[in-house]
């Protein structure tokens, strides 16, 4: 018993030491087997993300640092955020992101002195947060512009190209950048614009990974798997229960987010995949009706273990209040959120995600594969059991522990 306890303590210590110098291992890249992430010195990287979508626009410097420090302590290593939520965007300091709502014309002021309002602009604030994230060993997975703006005709292909070049050149030398093309959008909506953004970023910033964040219950591989700019796949399993998911589409599987992994895992060429937006903690089931039951930390753990044990390269957690950075000064909230972001960052699910990352990094990482053959009765829906293994170990996850719910 003492040997087991010592081994567990050493594992936790090693993971903590590893996380403290996360960005000292070189650039982030795809592992040699094509399934996972690693640094260029060979160190494994398990993606543990949080959706801080409105971080750049709604939090001031002190609030942003509070959020980033909290996420570092909880074991997160990726923050997903929108660079532009909309073309009319004005941040917490009253600075517009764009001139005349044109993505090809970022509103940039000479200088970056925070004490001088005429110098410190929207993009200086983004720079500040990206740098603070780096100090806290956090990658910023940045969505250039949320998909609804493109779908709404507010961005032309030429404007998208110029904007993507601006972003790529501005952040190409920053060590902690990942690009999330798209933004809650189907790849069939404005396909050529998404390809333009992906190809342009890849041309001017070839050292940072790129994926596509799709609309709910879809995966990026449906449209872009063969694109050279797409380094890894991302799916959004979405916020619906089994009985709410009535769409007739082979890539829509209700709560079975492990099925998206299975689809992507079998594709050629091999690319990593992960759930970039499961059901958020404390968001209504089905998303839009606040009278519906709320998703809980139990559900987030289920989504996390199901997808990772099926072969995903990581997992992104989300919280209803945190993703929209709900503040006391807000006149209204989305999706029935009631808690403020600074309280919700300590909701149970956020503190539990680190255990999955620690578990995955406690064994030889790159040899891990999914293997359902070792389970005699896999079950279905909530009773589904999932297995992953390496050369000298196997893990099996059960949500119900054999009990029907």
pLDDT grade, residue 248 (50/70/90)?
Answer: low
Does residue 1 have a pLDDT over 80? no
Does residue 249 have a pLDDT over 80? no
pLDDT grade, residue 23 (50/70/90)?
Answer: confident
On whether residue 336 sits in a domain, the answer given is yes
pLDDT digits (tens, 9 = 90+) for 250-280: 567 889 999 999 999 999 999 999 999 999 9
- Write the CA distances from 401 to 132, 162, 259, 383, 398, integer angstroms: 41, 53, 21, 8, 5
On whether residue 117 sits in a domain, the answer given is yes
Kindly state the tokens that stand for 38.
């690693």
SS3 at position 142: strand
Name 380's Cβ contacts closer than 8 Å, sequence gap at least 6: none
pLDDT of residue 137: 97
Number of residues that make up the chain: 405
Does residue 10 have a pLDDT over 60? no
pLDDT of residue 326: 98
DSSP assignment of 28-60: EEE-TTSSSEEETTS-EE-EEEEE-TTHHHH--
pLDDT grade, residue 24 (50/70/90)?
Answer: confident
DSSP assignment of 344-358: HTTSHHHHHHHHHHH
Q: Which domain holds residue 288?
A: 2-368
Domain count, the chain: 1
CATH number at residue 332: 3.20.20.80
On whether residue 62 sits in a domain, the answer given is yes
What's 191's DSSP letter? H
Q: Average pLDDT over the chain, rounded to whole?
A: 93
Does residue 16 have a pLDDT over 80? no
pLDDT of residue 246: 77
Taking alpha carbons only, the member of 169, 201, 166 closest to residue 182 is: 201
Taking alpha carbons only, the member of 149, 229, 180, 171 closest to residue 80 is: 180
On whether residue 230 sits in a domain, the answer given is yes
On whether residue 384 sits in a domain, the answer given is no
Provide, rounded to the nearest whole percent, the portion of the chain with pLDDT above 70: 93
Does residue 192 have a pLDDT over 90? yes
Query: How far is the C-alpha of 109 from the C-alpha of 54, rounded, in Å?
Result: 22
Query: How far is the C-alpha of 176 from the C-alpha of 73, rounded, in Å?
Result: 18
Strand 233-236 relative to strand 273-275, pairing: parallel
pLDDT digits (tens, 9 = 90+) for 131-161: 999 999 999 999 999 999 999 999 999 999 9
Query: How far is the C-alpha of 317 from the C-alpha of 344, rounded, in Å?
Result: 13
Predicted TM-score of the model (pTM): 0.93
Helix axes 348-361, 297-309, angle to 10 degrees: 20
Query: How far is the C-alpha of 83 from the C-alpha of 153, rounded, in Å?
Result: 18
On whether residue 386 sits in a domain, the answer given is no
Cβ neighbours around 184 below 10 Å, total: 19
Cβ(57)–Cβ(91) below 8 Å: yes
Angle (CA) 143 149 154, round 5°: 125
Mean pLDDT, rounded, for 333-344: 97
What's 282's DSSP letter? T
CA gyration radius, the chain: 21
Query: How far is the C-alpha of 61 from the C-alpha of 133, rounded, in Å?
Result: 12
Mean pLDDT, rounded, for 50-75: 98
Mean pLDDT, rounded, for 286-291: 93
On whether residue 201 sits in a domain, the answer given is yes
Kindly state the tokens that stand for 344.
């919700």
Mean pLDDT, rounded, for 358-372: 97
């Amino acid at each position: 018993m003492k040997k087991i306890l010592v081994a567990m303590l050493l594992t936790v210590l090693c993971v903590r030491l590893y996380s403290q110098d996360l960005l000292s291992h070189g650039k982030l890249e795809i592992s040699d087997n094509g399934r996972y992430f690693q640094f260029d010195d060979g160190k494994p990287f398990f993606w543990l993300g949080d959706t801080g979508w409105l971080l750049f626009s709604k939090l001031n410097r002190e609030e942003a640092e509070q959020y980033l420090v909290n996420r570092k302590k909880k074991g997160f290593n990726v923050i997903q955020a929108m660079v532009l939520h909309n073309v009319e965007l004005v941040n917490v300091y009253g600075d517009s992101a764009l001139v005349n709502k044109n993505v090809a014309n970022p509103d940039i002021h000479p200088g970056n002195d925070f004490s001088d309002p005429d110098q410190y602009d929207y993009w200086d604030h983004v720079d500040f947060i990206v740098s603070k994230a780096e100090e806290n060993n956090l990658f910023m997975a940045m969505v250039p512009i949320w998909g609804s703006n493109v779908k709404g005709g507010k961005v032309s292909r030429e404007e998208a190209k110029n904007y993507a070049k601006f972003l790529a050149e501005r952040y190409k030398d920053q060590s902690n950048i990942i690009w999330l093309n798209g933004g809650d959008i189907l790849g069939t909506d404005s396909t050529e614009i998404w390809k333009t953004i992906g190809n342009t970023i890849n041309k001017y910033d070839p050292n940072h990974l790129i994926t596509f964040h799709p609309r709910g219950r879809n995966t990026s591989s449906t449209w872009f798997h063969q694109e050279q700019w797409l380094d890894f796949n991302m799916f959004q399993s979405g916020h619906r229960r089994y009985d709410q998911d009535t769409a007739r589409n082979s890539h829509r599987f209700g709560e079975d987010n492990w099925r998206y992994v299975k689809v992507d895992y079998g594709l050629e060429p091999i690319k990593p995949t992960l759930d970039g937006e499961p059901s958020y903690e404390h968001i209504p089931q089905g998303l839009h009706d606040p009278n519906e039951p709320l998703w809980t930390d139990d559900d987030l753990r289920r989504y996390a273990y199901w997808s990772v044990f099926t072969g995903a390269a990581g997992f992104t957690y989300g919280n209803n209040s945190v993703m929209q950075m709900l503040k006391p000064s807000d006149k209204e909230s989305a999706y029935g959120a009631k808690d403020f972001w600074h309280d919700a960052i300590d909701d149970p699910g956020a503190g539990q995600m680190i255990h999955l990352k620690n578990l995955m990094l406690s064994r030889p990482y790159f040899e891990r594969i999914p293997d359902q053959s070792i389970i005699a009765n896999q079950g279905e829906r909530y009773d589904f059991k999932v297995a992953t293994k390496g050369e000298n170990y196997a893990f099996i996850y059960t949500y119900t522990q054999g009990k029907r719910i």
